[in-house]
Every structure is written in C-alpha cells, then in structure tokens.
Amino acid sequence: MTLPALGPRGEGWVLVQLLLLALIAVAGAGSVTAGWPPRDPVRIVAGAALLVAGLVIVARGSLDLGSNLTPMPRPREGASLVESGVYRHVRHPIYVGVVTAALGWSVLTASWLAFALSVVLLGFFDLKARREERWLVDHVPGYEGYRRRTSRFIPGLY
C-alpha cells in the first residue's frame, strides 16, 4: 500500500495531526467543564505522570534530532541519520511521546472521547511514520539498515 504524500513535504499529514491534537484537547477540556469527575488521586497521578512523561519524551526526541527536526514527514535536504539518545531505542520517539501525553490527558481529564481519539492518533502516527520512512530511505543514507534493526514505537516489540 502506497500512502499519499499529502503535499510536497507532507503538509497534509501535519494538518491532520494538529486537528487530532486539537480534538483531544477539547474533548478533555469538555470533560472537565462538564463537571470534574470525583477526585480520584490514582487517576490524577497516573494521568499527570503519563502527560509529563510524554512531554519529556517529545523534548528529548526533539533535542536528539537537532537540526534535522522538522514537523514535516519529508526530511530536510541534507538530513543525517540520528541513532543516538532515544533514537537508539525507537525510530519515532516524538510520536510515542505525543501519544503518551495524549493518553495522559485523557486519563487526567477522565475523558473517554479523548482516550478514543488518542487511539486514533496512534493509528494515524503509524501511517504517518510509514510515509515518512519511505522518504527517509530515499534521502538519508543508512536509514534502511537502521529501520531493520530498530523498533518503530516500542523497543523490541513494534
């Protein structure tokens, strides 16, 4: 299956991603404004921990990418292969971090809709990563070997 480019650099992928993130944020906020559920300290701590962990993973992945960082799935011209930091364990840690933060938000706000949209976001990132990897194989020397030996999202599993 060939996934569409959705623009010269994959701009459409980014727009869909932003829409999903906005929907998750609104769904969680809607849950809170509709009447905060009973204060469950375990849920609050678990949700906050997932949210913070996700943001830390996003920050670390962004720092590790350095000048290669771009919101677009098509790599920058002259991009180099990064295999250090979190990229030593997974190929798409920023996507992992965003989904983790989204799941944390859904737990924190007790929003089933935000949770369901977070699962949709995970599926979307799987498709976006596949499209991105086609471009990376074509533009970044050594990416094919890195792809074969490094998991996409979960070390040793997927």
Domain containing residue 93: CATH number: 1.20.120.1630
**Residue 31 is assigned to a structural domain of this protein:** no
Residue 20 included in any domain: no
Domain count within the chain: 1
Q: Flag whether 100 is in a domain.
A: yes
How much is the pLDDT for 32? 66
For the record, the structure tokens of 112 come out as 């089933």
Nearest to 80, CA basis, from 90, 91, 65, 94: 65
Contact 125, 99 (CB under 8 A): yes
Q: Is residue 122 part of a domain?
A: yes
Whether residue 123 is contained in a domain is answered as yes
Q: Does residue 12 lie within any of the structural domains? A: no
Per-residue pLDDT of the chain (158 residues; tens, 9 = 90+): 789 999 999 999 999 999 999 999 999 998 766 555 557 889 889 999 999 999 999 999 999 999 999 999 999 999 999 999 999 999 999 999 999 999 999 999 999 999 999 999 999 999 999 999 999 999 999 999 999 999 999 999 99
Do residues 26 and 58 make contact, with C-beta atoms less than 8 angstroms apart? no
pLDDT at 5 (0 to 100): 94
- The predicted model scores a pTM of 0.93
Residue 24 CA to residue 19 CA, distance in Å, equals 9
Residue 23: inside a domain = no
Residue 26 lies in a domain: no
Q: Quick one: which of 71, 23, 31 has its CA closest to 47?
A: 31
Domain of 53 in residue numbering reads as 41-70+80-158
Q: Look at residues 116, 117, 72, 119 and name the one whose alpha carbon lies nearest to residue 94.
A: 72
Query: Who contacts 88 (Cβ-Cβ below 8 Å, separation ≥6)?
Result: 150
